[in-house]
Amino acid sequence: MKKFLIQFFTWWNGTTLNTRFHTWRKGTKVGEDEFGNVYYQGGTDSEGRTRRWVMYNGYSEASTIPPGWHGWIHHKVDVPPTQEAYQAREWQKPHRPNMTGTPDAYRPQGSIMTGEDRPRVTGDYDAWTPN
């Protein structure tokens, strides 16, 4: 019952009930990625293309879609990675979760969150004052 209520009232904790219903009615499973996300297609969108969607494994985090699947789900390529010998390019980095709001978040030099002292002002800046 708790899982049903979570799915009913939230969208970030996984697949919503509407997506499950649409998948059951019109969805055809296309494949699955290394993170456990499952990809579907079926029906048509407003532009007449085949509708494509993903059912995330866990939280709905778009950054967990690997590059090959990203191209397919956004209609950049017609063939899903499961139907071709897709190899990631050497410049494509592996997935890292979004660290915003965690102790591992990016904090640039001089940020008050780093705990370091800010660099001293060098004198090349004159504060604006009204005339």
- The pLDDT tens digits of the residues spanning 33-92 come to 988 999 998 888 888 888 888 888 877 788 888 888 988 999 998 889 888 888 878 888
- The pLDDT tens digits of the residues spanning 4-16 come to 666 666 655 666 6
- Residue ranges with strand state E in 8-121: 28-32, 38-44, 50-55
- The pLDDT tens digits of the residues spanning 97-107 come to 888 888 888 88
Rounded Cα gap, residues 22 and 44, in angstroms: 12
For tokens 């699947």, what's the residue? 69
Helical pair 17-26 and 2-9, crossing angle rounded to 10 deg: 90
Partners of 98 in the β-ladder: none
pTM over cut 0.75: no
Q: Is 10 exposed, middle or buried (0-12, 13-18, 19+ CB in 10 A)?
A: exposed
